[in-house]
C-alpha cells in the first residue's frame, strides 16, 4: 500500500525540480529563482539559481513579522555554570542578532567576508552565526576543543576578516582558557584577522590585545542594529571543516537557498516538528549537527531550540537529559548514541526517569555513529517512544537515510537507519561501480545531483572536491561508507572505507593523528587505528616503531605522544593509548594493513591478506594488543 513516505520518495526521484520547488515555497525570498536546478557544470550542481534570500531573515525576522515575536526562540541551560538559564523570545533574539550584526558591520565585515567563530556552548555562539548570515558574511565555526595548530590551519584557509571568541569554555570540573589558544593560533597563522571580538565570561578573565581585540559587551552597547542583506541562494552561508590531515583542510561549503529549503522540509517530514514545538539537538555548534539542528533548522521552522552547556551524566547525574525534557516540554531530542551509552552505564535500570514528567517527549533521534542494538533496545524500553537511528554526514548537511516520522513511520530494524530520505538516490556498489545484490556489502554511493543542502564544493578547492568525492564512481558521490541494502530496502552502514574513525560521534582522521605522532623525534614509523569502545564507539590506538638506539623510555615516549595529540588536535581526539612495536604489518608494496589490525583488536574474523609481506607479524600484533588490554586478552 502506498504511503506518504513512498509518495514523497517517488516524486523526489521522478520530478526533483518540482518536488523541491514546492518545498521552497515554505521559504521567504527577495527574488525567486530563474532555474530550480542548474546542472550545466557537473559535478558542480547549484539549486535555486538566480534566487535571492537571507537565512537570518527566515530564521528570525519573518516569525516576528508573522506575530510569533513573544514565542521562545532559544533556551539556554548551563549546569556547568551554576545552573545558568536564559530564554530568548524571537523578538529578543532578533534584537541581539541585529545589534551584533551592527558590531560586525562597524568592524568592516560585509557580504562574502569570512568570520571564524571559536566559541563554547553559549547563546552568543548562535547569535554570532545568525549575525554573519544577516550580513551575508560566511561563518566558519571551529569547535572550542581544538588546539592552536588546528585553529591556525583554518585561519589560513578561510582568511577571516574577524574572529569571534570567548575568554573560556567550561567543562564539568575545569575551565578551558581560550585566549592562550586563540593567541597561539594567530601567532602560528600567516593570515592575521583585522579584529577579534571576545565575550568575557565570569569564569575566566583575559587580557585583550590593544588594537586587535574588542570586548563583546562594550561593542554591543555602542552598536546600531543592522538589516538583512540579500544574497544569492547559491552564495555560501558557512564553511565547516571536516576531519583531515593538518596539511589539507577540507572546508565543506553550505549554500544559503538550498540549505534553508532542505532543513525546513526535514523538520516536519523527518522529525515531525511544527512551529512552536520545542526541539533539542544535544550537540555542539562546532559540529554539523549544531549548525543544522541547534541553530538553523529549528528557527527556520519556527520552533523553540535548546542550547545545552552540559553533559548527559555528571551535570549532576544521569538524569540530566530527563530533567531538560521535563523542564522545557521538549518534544524531540537528537543526540549521539555515546550519550545514551553513558546514561545507561550510570543508571542501567533507568531509575532516574521516575523523577521527571516525560509526557511532552515524542521521539528520540540518534546519529553520528553506529547505534548498537543494546543501546537501541534500552532506549526503547525505558523511554517508550520511537527511537530513530538516522545517517548523514558533514558533507550532506541533513539525513541521507531516516525513518521519516512526519511522513509515515516505518518499522524499526536494529542496525539500520531505515531507508533513504526523499531526494537521496542511494546505491551499494562494488569496486567497478556495479550494483551489488541485496544483502551484500559494498561501497555506499549517492547518485548525482544530490538534493539541496548537500555540499556544492569545498572552499576554494574544486579539484580536491572532485578527487575526494567524485572520481571513484563517476556520476556518484562517494560517501566513503560501506554497507548493504536488505530485501526491504533498508540501508545498513557497516564501516568506513577510508581512514576516518568515529569517536563519540566526532569524525577524526587517523592520518591526522599519525602526522602528530610521526613528529616525535624518537618515532621512526607509526600507525593509528580505531578500536571498538563500548562508550565512545571507537577510540584511537597508536602503534609506534622507535628509532634504533633510542635512549628515552617507552613509557615516556608514549606519554609525549599523548600530550602532542592533545596540544595539536585537542582532547576531542581521545588519544590516550599507544604501544611500542618492532614493526608494522604491511603489504609487499608498503601499505600498512590498518583494517586487519583493527579486526585483530576488535576480535573479529579476518582473512590473511594475500599481499602481506610477513604473515608472522600478525601474531606479533596480537600480542602487542593483548599487552594493552585488547584483542584476545580483552574480556
Is the pLDDT at 633 greater than 70? The verdict is no
Q: Which of 137-141, 372-376, 379-383, 500-504 has the lowest mean pLDDT?
A: 500-504
| Residues contacting 65, CB < 8 A, separation 6+ | none
For the chain, the distance separating the N- and C-terminal CA atoms, rounded to the nearest angstrom, is 48
What are 187-244's pLDDT values in tens digits?
999 999 999 999 999 999 999 999 999 999 999 999 999 999 999 999 999 999 986 4
pLDDT at position 549: 80
Is the pLDDT at 107 greater than 90? The verdict is yes
Confidence of residue 627 (pLDDT cuts 50, 70, 90): confident
Burial class (CB in 10 A: 0-12, 13-18, 19+), 117: buried
d(CA 526, CA 542): 7
What are 87-96's pLDDT values in tens digits?
999 999 999 9
C-alpha cell at 104: 560586525
d(CA 244, CA 152): 14
Mean pLDDT to the nearest integer, 270-291: 96
Domain residue spans of the chain: 4-310+390-466, 500-633
Cβ(298)–Cβ(279) under 8 Å?
yes
d(CA 27, CA 264): 8
For residue 18, give the H/E element and its range: helix 16-24
Q: What is the mean pLDDT of the chain?
A: 92
Mean pLDDT to the nearest integer, 548-572: 90
Bond from prior residue into 43 cis (ω within 30 degrees of 0): yes
Alpha-carbon dihedral sign for residues 48, 51, 56, 61: negative
Nearest to 127 by CA among 112, 141, 147: 141
pLDDT at position 224: 98
pLDDT at position 183: 97
Cβ(81)–Cβ(107) under 8 Å?
no
CATH architecture, range 4-310+390-466:
3-Layer(aba) Sandwich (3.40)
C-alpha cell at 87: 530564554
C-alpha cell at 610: 594475500
The pTM for the full model equals 0.86
pLDDT at position 178: 96
Looking at the DSSP bridge assignments, the partners of residue 116 are 140, 163
Mean pLDDT to the nearest integer, 146-150: 87
| Residues contacting 463, CB < 8 A, separation 6+ | none
Confidence of residue 560 (pLDDT cuts 50, 70, 90): very high
In a 13 Å sphere around the CA of 634, the CA atoms on its Cβ side amount to 18
Is the pLDDT at 459 greater than 60? The verdict is yes
d(CA 630, CA 635): 8
Residue that has been written with the C-alpha cell 551499494 in this structure: 428
pLDDT at position 511: 74
pLDDT at position 261: 98
Mean pLDDT to the nearest integer, 286-314: 96
Is the pLDDT at 5 greater than 80? The verdict is yes
- Helix 123-135, helix 90-106: angle, nearest 10: 60
- Strand, helix or coil for residue 479: strand
Mean pLDDT to the nearest integer, 63-77: 98
What are 517-539's pLDDT values in tens digits?
988 989 888 889 888 888 888 88
C-alpha cell at 37: 536546478
| Residues contacting 354, CB < 8 A, separation 6+ | none
Q: Which of 66-75, 85-94, 309-318, 339-348 has the lowest mean pLDDT?
A: 339-348
In a 13 Å sphere around the CA of 287, the CA atoms on its Cβ side amount to 20
- Strands (E) across 381-536 are located at 387-389, 401-402, 419-420, 426-429, 442-447, 476-485, 491-496, 500-503, 506-509, 523-533
What are 582-608's pLDDT values in tens digits?
888 876 555 688 878 888 888 888 777
Is the pLDDT at 422 greater than 80? The verdict is yes
Topology at the third CATH level for domain 500-633? GMP Synthetase; Chain A, domain 3 (3.30.300)
Is the pLDDT at 478 greater than 80? The verdict is yes
DSSP state of 57: I
Confidence of residue 251 (pLDDT cuts 50, 70, 90): very high
Residue 169 phi/psi, 5-degree rounding, is -110, 160
Bond from prior residue into 68 cis (ω within 30 degrees of 0): no
C-alpha cell at 155: 585561519
pLDDT at position 450: 98
pLDDT at position 515: 78
pLDDT at position 499: 66
pLDDT at position 608: 74
Confidence of residue 498 (pLDDT cuts 50, 70, 90): low
| Residues contacting 584, CB < 8 A, separation 6+ | 525, 526, 527, 543, 545, 592, 617
User: Percent of the chain at pLDDT above 90?
Assistant: 74
Mean pLDDT to the nearest integer, 457-472: 96
Q: Which of 251-260, 368-377, 553-562 has the lowest mean pLDDT?
A: 368-377
pLDDT at position 246: 41
Residue 463 phi/psi, 5-degree rounding, is -65, -40
pLDDT at position 436: 94
d(CA 567, CA 574): 12
Enumerate the H helices of 367-509 as residue ranges: 373-383, 462-469
d(CA 198, CA 200): 6
Q: Which of 94-103, 362-371, 405-414, 465-474 has the lowest mean pLDDT?
A: 362-371
Is the pLDDT at 451 greater than 60? The verdict is yes
What are 327-348's pLDDT values in tens digits?
999 999 999 988 998 899 889 9
pLDDT at position 243: 61
What are 41-67's pLDDT values in tens digits?
999 999 999 999 999 999 999 999 999
Cβ(569)–Cβ(607) under 8 Å?
no
C-alpha cell at 299: 528557527
Phi-psi region of 333 (alpha: psi -120 to 50; beta: other; left: phi over 0): beta
Amino acid at each position: 500500500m502506498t504511503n506518504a513516505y513512498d509518495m514523497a520518495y517517488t516524486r523526489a526521484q521522478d520530478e526533483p525540480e518540482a518536488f523541491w520547488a514546492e518545498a521552497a515555497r515554505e521559504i521567504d525570498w527577495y527574488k525567486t529563482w530563474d532555474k530550480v536546478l542548474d546542472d550545466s557544470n557537473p559535478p558542480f550542481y547549484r539549486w535555486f539559481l538566480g534566487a535571492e534570500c537571507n537565512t537570518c531573515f527566515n530564521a528570525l525576522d519573518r516569525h516576528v513579522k508573522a506575530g510569533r515575536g513573544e514565542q521562545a526562540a532559544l533556551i539556554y541551560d548551563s549546569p556547568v555554570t551554576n545552573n545558568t538559564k536564559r530564554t530568548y523570545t524571537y523578538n529578543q533574539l532578533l534584537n541581539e542578532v541585529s545589534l551584533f550584526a551592527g558590531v560586525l558591520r562597524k568592524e568592516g565585515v560585509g557580504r562574502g567576508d569570512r568570520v571564524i567563530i571559536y566559541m563554547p556552548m553559549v547563546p552568543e555562539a548562535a547569535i554570532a552565526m545568525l549575525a554573519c548570515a544577516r550580513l551575508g558574511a560566511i561563518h566558519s565555526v571551529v569547535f572550542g576543543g581544538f588546539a592552536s595548530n588546528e585553529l591556525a590551519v583554518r585561519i589560513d584557509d578561510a582568511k577571516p576578516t574577524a574572529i569571534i571568541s570567548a575568554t573560556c569554555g567550561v567543562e564539568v570540573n575545569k575551565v578551558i582558557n581560550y585566549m592562550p589558544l586563540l593567541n597561539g593560533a594567530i601567532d602560528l597563522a600567516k593570515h592575521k584577522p583585522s579584529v577579534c571580538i571576545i565575550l568575557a565570561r565570569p569564569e575566566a578573565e583575559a587580557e585583550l590585545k590593544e588594537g586587535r581585540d574588542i570586548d563583546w559587551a562594550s561593542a554591543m552597547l555602542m552598536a546600531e542594529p543592522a538589516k538583512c542583506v540579500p544574497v544569492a541562494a547559491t552564495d555560501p552561508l558557512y564553511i565547516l571543516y571536516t576531519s583531515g590531515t593538518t596539511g589539507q583542510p577540507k572546508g565543506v561549503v553550505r549554500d544559503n537557498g538550498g540549505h534553508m529549503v532542505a532543513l525546513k522540509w526535514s523538520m516536519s517530514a523527518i522529525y515531525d516538528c511544527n512551529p512552536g514545538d520545542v526541539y533539542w539537538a544535544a550537540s555542539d555548534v562546532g559540529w554539523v549537527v549544531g549548525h543544522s539542528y541547534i541553530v538553523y533548522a529549528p528557527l527556520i521552522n519556527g520552533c523553540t531550540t535548546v542550547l545545552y552547556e552540559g553533559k548527559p551524566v555528571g551535570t549532576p547525574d544521569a538524569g540530566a537529559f530527563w530533567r531538560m525534557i521535563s523542564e522545557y516540554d521538549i518534544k524531540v531530542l537528537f543526540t549521539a548514541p555515546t550519550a545514551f551509552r553513558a546514561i545507561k552505564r550510570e543508571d542501567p535500570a533507568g531509575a532516574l526517569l521516575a523523577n521527571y514528567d516525560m509526557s511532552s517527549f515524542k521521539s528520540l533521534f540518534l546519529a553520528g555513529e553506529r547505534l548498537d542494538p543494546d543501546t537501541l533496545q534500552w532506549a526503547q524500553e525505558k523511554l517508550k517512544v520511537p527511537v530513530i537511528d538516522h545517517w548523514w554526514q558533514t558533507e550532506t548537511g541533513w539525513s541521507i537515510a531516516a525513518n521519516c516520522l512526519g511522513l509515515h513511520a516505518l518499522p524499526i530494524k536494529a542496525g539500520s537507519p531505515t531507508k533513504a530520505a526523499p531526494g537521496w538516490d542511494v546505491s551499494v556498489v562494488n569496486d567497478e561501480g556495479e550494483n551489488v545484490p541485496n544483502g551484500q556489502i559494498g561501497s555506499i554511493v549517492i547518485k548525482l545531483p544530490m538534493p539541496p543542502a548537500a555540499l556544492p564544493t569545498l572552499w576554494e578547492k574544486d579539484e580536491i572536491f572532485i578527487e575526494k568525492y567524485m572520481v571513484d564512481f563517476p556520476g556518484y558521490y562517494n560517501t566513503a561508507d560501506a554497507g548493504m541494502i536488505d530485501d526491504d530496502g533498508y540501508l545498513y552502514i557497516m564501516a568506513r572505507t577510508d581512514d576516518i574513525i568515529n569517536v563519540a560521534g566526532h569524525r577524526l582522521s587517523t592520518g591526522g593523528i599519525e602526522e602528530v605522532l610521526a613528529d616525535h623525534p624518537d618515532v621512526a614509523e607509526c600507525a593509528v587505528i580505531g578500536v571498538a569502545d563500548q562508550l565512545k564507539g571507537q577510540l584511537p590506538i597508536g602503534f609506534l616503531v622507535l628509532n634504533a638506539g633510542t635512549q628515552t623510555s617507552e613509557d615516556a615516549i608514549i606519554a609525549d605522544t599523548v600530550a602532542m595529540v592533545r596540544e595539536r588536535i585537542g582532547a576531542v581526539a581521545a588519544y590516550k593509548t599507544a604501544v611500542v612495536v618492532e614493526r608494522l604489518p604491511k603489504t609487499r608494496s608498503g601499505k600498512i594493513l590498518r583494517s586487519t589490525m583493527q579486526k585483530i583488536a576488535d576480535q573479529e574474523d579476518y582473512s590473511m591478506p594475500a599481499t602481506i609481506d610477513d604473515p608472522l607479524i600478525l601474531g606479533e600484533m596480537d600480542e602487542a594488543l593483548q599487552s594493552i588490554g585488547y584483542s584476545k586478552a580483552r574480556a
